[in-house]
Amino acid sequence: MPAKVLDGARIAAEIRAEVAAEVKALAAAGIRPGLAVILVGHNPASEIYVRGKIKACHEVLINSTQLTPPSATTDELVAMIEDLNRNNNVDGILVQLPLPPQVDAKKVLLAVDPAKDVDGFHPVNVGLLSTQRPGLVPCTPAGCIEILLRSQIPIAGQDAVVVGRSDIVGKPAAMLLLNANATVTVAHSKTRDLPALCRRADILIAAIGRPGFLTRDFVKPGATVIDVGMNKITDPAEFQKFFAGNSKREQSFRSKGSTLIGDVHPEVAEIAGALTPVPGGVGPLTIAMLMFNTLKAAKMRRSGA
């Protein structure tokens, strides 16, 4: 029996509708949450992501400001962020990554007021998450947890394995699972016998950034698999390796010249109990949780929490 598909697009729409209703209620009290997005240079992928974030703001009635300097030094960006930190109409500040090579990204991200850090990357928010205090949580890992909760998949007492140890996804996902009373193992490229370790997992989160890396050998029958990967395939031979016989995908690949695949091999659908698709799984949750975080920042700042 094929895995149950965990529809991230549907869950993201639910969250956005909830955020929109709360924003509308705040507007009646004269409060309008605001998000400022800084995009430096002309990275085509980043421009697409930012357009999606600004569009989502309009849909949930959050004010959005976009700052797009064609180039900037570290000091110029820090000054720009300090202005936004002081601006009371801005509740969330998002610096779109990657930044150009001449910019010290760590210094820039550290300049963001933790109360406005809607990406949840600031060390203060990392510390709040690790000590289970209220703060802003990174959007993608928070989205993974929402998928589990809203799909009625138990977390407490489950064995969870997170494959990937990035500051953006792997580490915060592990912390969120731990806070929800799962027993958590973080695995990575240096882990010995990774397939055997992953096969212990009731919940397996794949965030390693390698297309189709986790095959059926990594998955315990009936496990829930959350695929955070987003990899573009353009090579026809690689496409055949993953999607041979999938006529719908083949037609799309022929017309577009590319397709998206996660970190999980499509064959895992034959053995997992539940699985997020790519696209349409974790991806839509990232922007939905950004809207949630902007609303949360607005409420926390005004309540003094």
One digit per residue, the tens of pLDDT, for the chain of length 305 reads: 789 999 999 999 999 999 999 999 999 999 999 999 999 998 888 999 999 999 999 999 999 999 999 899 999 999 999 999 999 999 999 999 999 999 999 999 999 999 999 999 999 999 999 999 999 999 999 999 999 999 999 999 999 999 999 999 999 999 999 999 999 999 998 999 999 999 999 999 999 999 999 999 999 999 999 999 999 999 999 999 999 989 999 999 999 999 999 999 999 999 999 999 999 999 999 999 999 999 999 999 888 65
Is position 295 within any domain? no
The answer on 243 and 154 residing in a single domain is yes
Taking alpha carbons only, the member of 146, 128, 147 closest to residue 137 is: 128
Catalytic residue annotation:
53, 96, 119
Is position 16 within any domain? no
Is position 124 within any domain? no
Residue 183 neighbours by CB under 8 Å, 6+ apart: 157, 158, 159, 160
The answer on 143 and 39 residing in a single domain is no
Is position 203 within any domain? yes
Provide the CATH number for the domain around residue 224. 3.40.50.720
The answer on 144 and 260 residing in a single domain is yes
The answer on 263 and 143 residing in a single domain is yes
Q: Which domain holds residue 168?
A: 139-283
The answer on 151 and 83 residing in a single domain is no
The answer on 195 and 96 residing in a single domain is no
The answer on 277 and 151 residing in a single domain is yes
CB contact at 8 A, 208 and 185: no
Residue ending a domain, choose from 59, 81, 115 = 115
Is position 238 within any domain? yes
The answer on 111 and 47 residing in a single domain is yes
The answer on 146 and 262 residing in a single domain is yes
